Amino acid sequence: MTPEEFRTAGYALIDWIAEHRSTVDQRPVRSEVAPGAVAGALPSAPPAGTDSFGHVMEDLRSIVVPGMFEMQHPMHFGWFPANAELSSILGDLASSGLSSVGISWESAPALTEVEEVVCDWMRQLVGLSEDWVGTITDTASTGCLTAMLVARERASGLSQNGGGLQGVKSPLVVYSTTQAHSSVAKAALLAGYGWDNIVMVDTDPETFAMDAGHLAKCMDADLSAGKTPAVVVAAVGTTGTTAIDPVGAVVEVAAVRGVWVHVDAAMAGSAMLVPECRHLWEGVEGADSISWNPHKWMGTILDCSLLYVRDETQLQSVMSTNPSYLRSTADGTVTQYRDWGIPLGRRFRALKLWFHLRLDGVESIRTRIRRDLANARWFAEQVAATPGWAVLAPVLLQTVCVSHTPVVDGTALQGRDLDAHTLRWAKAINDSGLAFVSPSMLDGQWMVRVSVGVLGTEREHLVRLWQQMQRVILPTVS
Ligand SMILES: Cc1ncc(COP(=O)(O)O)c(C=O)c1O
């Protein structure tokens, strides 16, 4: 493709994207395609020759779009928001256009230095002290894995330089809760700790937050048993209920025992852009690492996850590589992000944050986050005030955990029957195409998460969802 052909096709593609975004609410939230339908509509053999841009766009429209879940739909209340501000999409496009590959500072000086500056802007915007330095990774899962690896090496006295974990006599232990995201246990397993050394600390039955007293007991019991507590992951905004582990208390318990604290604020990091939410992670300054995702609520297009550490030399001691072909005269005076994480080559991800912050401005992002917080509170109030309905967890951010309990023949449904009812009404909403919610388990029972926070979601959309929820349970209520 020549630059001239690119220009023509590129203008057409931008027009198409703008149209797609401005009509998102005219399509069903959830894709209606059957499994295999998209693949079945594509030729099984690779293209032998070339095709026209027009034909590719036709297939994009007729095959790909119907197979897409509309994440940016204002009636999407599932999982967590994965907002993609158009300003950040421009930054992503600029990154692709520059086609840079960050394998060393020398390979793309601006890639490294814009990332340094933008990570520091983000640090300031969420109120972290100058002690923190950041980098951009693809996901919070990678951030957590990176933290687990560094914690492993710290606790084992850099075992990787000798026999690795296989030479460590005292098992290294990870602490988390059942409410933590699945990426935490996955990271622990990938980092070699093993299931037997993942301890699930008790949570408060009302708030679902980690019990720091129990954490201390677990660590002391492990120490007595000859094990080495290595890392605790405190969730600031769990996936199920957005529960907030008491970071300050966790840090206190961990600090005296020399344990690494990783704060997983994948979702709630965005809330820290508004000062009135920052009490939720009070004590965070005592942690060792923090990850959070601008590619969730904040609205910088995926993939854009921030990983902050207080001591980057610990990252470097585990991640550093220095092959001869990557050396340059700038070594020792510049940041080499390849020494801060797992991949060598990196994209120019900082551009999407740079564009987003500059074109939209942080105040508009704050206004939107405050809107979502207020909308979630309003929604929870409606649910809590209606007989038969309940809000199951504190609404600290934008997620409302809901149940509906019908009374059948004078008896409130419970157990499996209640689960079947919950899954039925959630399915009815999702099948309608009008809205999407995520059923999820809490304390062994199904409930429905209503996750507020898509860019276009206003109060009217929550009103519509609430009406729909009450409508779909009607046939089952006696
Ligand atoms: C609390 C929490 N941590 C981690 C993750 C994983 O995020 P990522 O998809 O960036 O790996 C999620 C995803 O929703 C999450 O909610």
Closest of 153, 145, 211, 203 to residue 179, by C-alpha: 203
Ligand 1 centroid from CA 140, angstroms: 6
Ligand 1 centroid from CA 310, angstroms: 21
| Rounded CA Rg of the chain | 24
Which strand (E) or helix (H) includes residue 112?
Answer: helix 109-125
Cis peptide bond prior to 202, omega within 30° of 0: no
Task: Cite the DSSP H helix spans in 385-438.
Answer: 415-432
Tell which CATH classification among 1.20.1340.10, 3.90.1150.10, 3.10.180.10, 3.40.630.30 matches the domain 3-68: 1.20.1340.10
| Residue to mutate (ligand 1; options 71, 79, 179, 181; most atoms within 8 A of CB) | 181
Which strand (E) or helix (H) includes residue 198?
Answer: strand 198-200
CATH topology of domain 93-360: Aspartate Aminotransferase; domain 2 (3.40.640)
Dihedral sign for Cα 135, 136, 137, 140, please: positive
Atom of ligand 1 nearest to the CA of 235: 1
Nearest CA to ligand 1 atom 7: 140
| Residue to mutate (ligand 1; options 71, 239, 241, 300; most atoms within 8 A of CB) | 239
**Integer Cα distance of 373 and 375 in angstroms:** 5
Of the pLDDT bands very low, low, confident and very high (cuts 50, 70, 90), residue 478 is very low
Residue 19, judged by CB atoms within 10 A of its CB (0-12, 13-18, 19+), counts as exposed
Atom of ligand 1 nearest to the CA of 295: 10
Ligand 1 centroid from CA 399, angstroms: 14
**Integer Cα distance of 176 and 198 in angstroms:** 7
Of the pLDDT bands very low, low, confident and very high (cuts 50, 70, 90), residue 474 is confident
Direct distance between the N- and C-terminal alpha carbons of the chain, in angstroms, rounded to an integer: 65
Ligand 1 centroid from CA 218, angstroms: 25
User: 362-415, pLDDT tens digit by residue?
Assistant: 999 999 999 999 999 999 999 999 999 999 999 999 999 999 999 988 899 999
CATH number of 371-476: 3.90.1150.10
| Residue to mutate (ligand 1; options 71, 141, 272; most atoms within 8 A of CB) | 141
User: 128-172, pLDDT tens digit by residue?
Assistant: 999 999 999 999 999 999 999 999 999 999 999 999 999 999 999
The pLDDT value given to residue 409: 87
Ligand 1 centroid from CA 126, angstroms: 19
Ligand 1 — pocket residues by CB below 6 A? 80, 139-141, 181, 183, 235, 237-239, 264, 266-267, 293, 305
| Residue to mutate (ligand 1; options 71, 263, 293; most atoms within 8 A of CB) | 293
Q: Where are the domains of the chain?
A: 3-68, 93-360, 371-476
pTM: 0.95
Place of tokens 């979601």: 457
**Integer Cα distance of 296 and 271 in angstroms:** 11
**Integer Cα distance of 141 and 260 in angstroms:** 17
Ligand 1 centroid from CA 59, angstroms: 32
DSSP E strand boundaries for 336-452 = 389-391, 399-404, 407-408, 411-412, 436-442, 445-451
User: 17-28, pLDDT tens digit by residue?
Assistant: 999 999 999 999
Q: What is the DSSP string of 222-287?
A: HHHTT-EEEEEEEEBS-TTT--B--HHHHHHHHHHTT-EEEEE-TTGGGGGGSGGGGGGGTTGGG-
DSSP E strand boundaries for 79-178 = 133-137, 172-176
Task: Cite the DSSP H helix spans in 339-361.
Answer: 350-360
Atom of ligand 1 nearest to the CA of 141: 11
Contact 348, 116 (CB under 8 A): no
Helix, coil or strand: residue 129: coil
| Beta carbons within 8 Å of 213's beta carbon, 6+ residues apart | none
